A and B are shown apart, each in its own frame.
Chain A
Amino acid sequence: MRMPRLRLKGGTSLWIGGTLVAVAIAVAVAAPLIARTDPVMDANLMNAEIPPGLEFPFGTDAQGRDIYSRIVYGARISLTVGIVSQILNSLIGVTLGLTAGYWGGWWDDVVTGLTNLMLAIPSLIFALAIMAILGPGLSSLLAALGLTAWSYSCRIARAQVLSLKSQGYIQAARILGYGDLRIMFTQVLPNILGPLIVIATLGMGGAILSEAALSFLGLGIRPPFPSWGSMLSEARDQITTAPWLSVFPGLAIFFTVLGLNLLGDGLRDILDPQSTTRRT
């Protein structure tokens, strides 16, 4: 039966998620403008551990630094980690998955084996090991998170290629003399981008959480630089005496990751390849 397609309202999660993520990005970009003090230098022991109030909306920490300003600057680190590590993961995963699915054979066996190996090792443990070797710092954090979580996008890419490979237009391209790389990047990739973007968006949330966990364990961003995870880590001893030290970084992580997940779900609805290629 041929019927007019019924458009699904994937709207609400897309909009809420998009707004949350947009706010987080705006905060990170505009950090110097909206921060009230310097997040690292403006320590003043006179102001130590002041609860949230008019002067310090989110309160201050043990060194007297403004929590609000530290969270605003922390957004830069968290989002950088999320975005850059996911770009790395996607590049690795998509390249491996695309070539493995398209060429098949021994290369496919190698990539599939590697993917299964990566999935069998808890990625946080893997990241911990890399951090332990490279030492703490932003670049090692990016490497640790950007090289360990590509198995998901690899699997998705490979599965999508396998289902597309028998489509007439892929065969037609081969018959017309297109080279393998040209087919992969002009014929296959544009048609599998939707689910990959979804996976990358969802992965960003995971990377931000991993960064928080690593920093919490003292292996991520070193104090005094503010990342949401390192702030939580520093606050753990004062959780009963100064709960605002944990609550606000926690909320920042919560809303950003929630936003990314909602955005991913919303994108899934509108980027579903079925909605443009669906045959009835």
Chain B
Amino acid sequence: MTAPLLRIEDLRIALRTESATYNAVENVSFEIGRGEAFGLVGESGCGKSITALSVMGLLRRPLALAGGKIVLDGEEIQDASPAEWRRLRGKRVAMIFQEPMTALNPLSPVGRQIAEMFVLHQGAGWSEAMDRAEDALRQVQVPSPERRIKDFPHQLSGGMRQRVMIAIALACGPELLIADEPTTALDVTVQAEIIDLMRELCAAKGTAILMISHDLGLVANMCRRVAVMYAGRIVEQQDADAIFASPRHPYTRGLINSLPRLGARARQGRQRLQEISGVVPSIAGYPAGCRFNPRCVAVTDICREVSPEATPLPADGLVRCHHHG
């Protein structure tokens, strides 16, 4: 087996407030192979986004890396200096965000923002870089790129802006693309196109993807393997097909069963949705033992006291549940 492109090992991210320090993320480990699409799924506050930020070296106070390893292509980068991070970002690891408008510079034409990547990371001259920016826009299927390179971000639609973000992210041929809720702000028909585009481009260039989303269906559609996070921990990790066929963690099972599925009503009539009771805990109120225990249907005494260890599953999977049977 070849070495993975990215290996996260026992990652811990601390949130320091005036009164206390919390573990916003703990015991998080996963690997992403070269060219592989890996999905990280969870609700707001579960730690999926800050896990991604840590891979970009973008954690800022009050968040800080508190333990674990981030290994990119065999090289530990968790303690890299700011200068080393700058060399990694954009060139080897790139990121796209939920709202492209906030990630793009509103005062600079989009062509210039793409070209900047070539100038910055590859030492290209500006005129050459602008030509390549036009090509990059064409690759992300922006119509009439020769005119669009002069447009400012506010002149583009949300979908077009996200295409520009993808062009910037993929400009220097990074080995890993981190996509944090890349389509959440977009309309459904546009979302489908952006997902197709990301999948095709990354497959063509051999770029690995770390896809972050609250939408299990979306992630499963795009990624081969999926990890589900809850309250700062990975609770289950499996192949995308397997996670839907046989979810092993009660939370995953609950998520899959709680949402209405298109076509289900036509087949079986209207069934009452299976609720997951309770509320998502806040970081200051994580329960002892298994963090899902107050909401779990299969809870027993041990769940309230002992934090479950990860049980390995086939194909590099795992489940963190006392009753994963």
Question: CB distance A4 to B284 under 8 Å?
Answer: yes
Given A6-B62, A7-B18, are A1 and B282 neighbors across the interface (CB < 8 Å)?
no
User: Which residues of the partner chain A approach B282 to less than 8 Å between Cβ atoms?
Assistant: 2, 4
Proximity bits, A1-36, B CB within 8 Å = 1, else 0: 111101100000000000000000000000000000
CB distance from B4 to the nearest CB of A (A): 27
User: Which residues of the partner chain B approach A3 to less than 8 Å between Cβ atoms?
Assistant: 15, 24, 45, 62, 283
Measured CB to CB, the nearest residue on chain A to B43 is: A2
Question: CB distance A2 to B44 under 8 Å?
Answer: yes
Question: CB distance B49 to A4 under 8 Å?
Answer: no
Proximity bits, B30-72, A CB within 8 Å = 1, else 0: 0000000000000011000110000000000010000000000
Interface of A is mostly: loop
Question: CB distance A2 to B45 under 8 Å?
Answer: yes
User: Which residues of the partner chain A approach B2 to less than 8 Å between Cβ atoms?
Assistant: none
B17 at the interface (CB under 8 A from A): yes
CB distance from A4 to the nearest CB of B (A): 5
CA distance A102 to B184 in the complex (A): 33
Which one of A1, A4, A7 lies within 8 Å of B50 (CB-CB)?
A1
Chain B positions 275-308 with a Cβ under 8 Å from a chain A Cβ: 282-284
Question: CB distance B45 to A4 under 8 Å?
Answer: no
CA distance A7 to B24 in the complex (A): 18
State how many residues of chain B have any CB contact under 8 Å with chain A. 13
Measured CB to CB, the nearest residue on chain A to B50 is: A1
Question: CB distance B45 to A1 under 8 Å?
Answer: yes
CB distance from A275 to the nearest CB of B (A): 15
User: Which residues of the partner chain A approach B283 to less than 8 Å between Cβ atoms?
Assistant: 2-4
User: Which residues of the partner chain B approach A7 to less than 8 Å between Cβ atoms?
Assistant: 18
Question: CB distance B44 to A4 under 8 Å?
Answer: no
User: Which residues of the partner chain A approach B284 to less than 8 Å between Cβ atoms?
Assistant: 4
CB distance from B282 to the nearest CB of A (A): 6
Proximity bits, A240-270, B CB within 8 Å = 1, else 0: 0000000000000000000000000000000
CA distance A24 to B271 in the complex (A): 70
CB distance from B235 to the nearest CB of A (A): 18
User: Which residues of the partner chain A approach B15 to less than 8 Å between Cβ atoms?
Assistant: 3-4
CB distance from A11 to the nearest CB of B (A): 12
CA distance A1 to B18 in the complex (A): 19
CA distance A3 to B45 in the complex (A): 7
CB distance from A153 to the nearest CB of B (A): 31
User: Which residues of the partner chain B approach A1 to less than 8 Å between Cβ atoms?
Assistant: 44-45, 49-50
CA distance A1 to B60 in the complex (A): 13
CA distance A107 to B73 in the complex (A): 65
CA distance A6 to B50 in the complex (A): 17
User: Which residues of the partner chain A approach B45 to less than 8 Å between Cβ atoms?
Assistant: 1-3
CA distance A190 to B24 in the complex (A): 35
Measured CB to CB, the nearest residue on chain A to B53 is: A1
Measured CB to CB, the nearest residue on chain A to B63 is: A3
Proximity bits, B255-281, A CB within 8 Å = 1, else 0: 000000000000000000000000000
Most chain-B CB neighbours within 10 Å: which of A1, A2, A7? A1
CA distance A2 to B282 in the complex (A): 8
User: Which residues of the partner chain A approach B18 to less than 8 Å between Cβ atoms?
Assistant: 6-7
CA distance A4 to B44 in the complex (A): 13
CA distance A4 to B19 in the complex (A): 11
Measured CB to CB, the nearest residue on chain B to A6 is: B17
CA distance A2 to B17 in the complex (A): 13
Chain B positions 166-180 with a Cβ under 8 Å from a chain A Cβ: none
CA distance A62 to B283 in the complex (A): 69
User: Which residues of the partner chain A approach B62 to less than 8 Å between Cβ atoms?
Assistant: 3, 6
CA distance A4 to B21 in the complex (A): 11
CA distance A177 to B50 in the complex (A): 44
CA distance A3 to B22 in the complex (A): 10
Proximity bits, B11-28, A CB within 8 Å = 1, else 0: 000010110001010000
CB distance from B301 to the nearest CB of A (A): 29
CB distance from A25 to the nearest CB of B (A): 32
CA distance A1 to B212 in the complex (A): 13
CB distance from A266 to the nearest CB of B (A): 18
Measured CB to CB, the nearest residue on chain B to A8 is: B18
CA distance A131 to B62 in the complex (A): 55
User: Which residues of the partner chain B approach A4 to less than 8 Å between Cβ atoms?
Assistant: 15, 17, 22, 282-284
CB distance from A203 to the nearest CB of B (A): 33
User: Which residues of the partner chain B approach A2 to less than 8 Å between Cβ atoms?
Assistant: 44-45, 282-283
23 example contacts (A-B, Cβ-Cβ < 8 A) are as follows A1-B44, A1-B45, A1-B49, A1-B50, A2-B44, A2-B45, A2-B282, A2-B283, A3-B15, A3-B24, A3-B45, A3-B62, A3-B283, A4-B15, A4-B17, A4-B22, A4-B282, A4-B283, A4-B284, A6-B17, A6-B18, A6-B62, A7-B18
B interface list, Cβ under 8 A from A: 15, 17-18, 22, 24, 44-45, 49-50, 62, 282-284
Please give me the 5 A-B residue pairs with the lowest Cβ-Cβ distance, nearest first: A2-B45, A4-B284, A2-B44, A4-B17, A6-B17
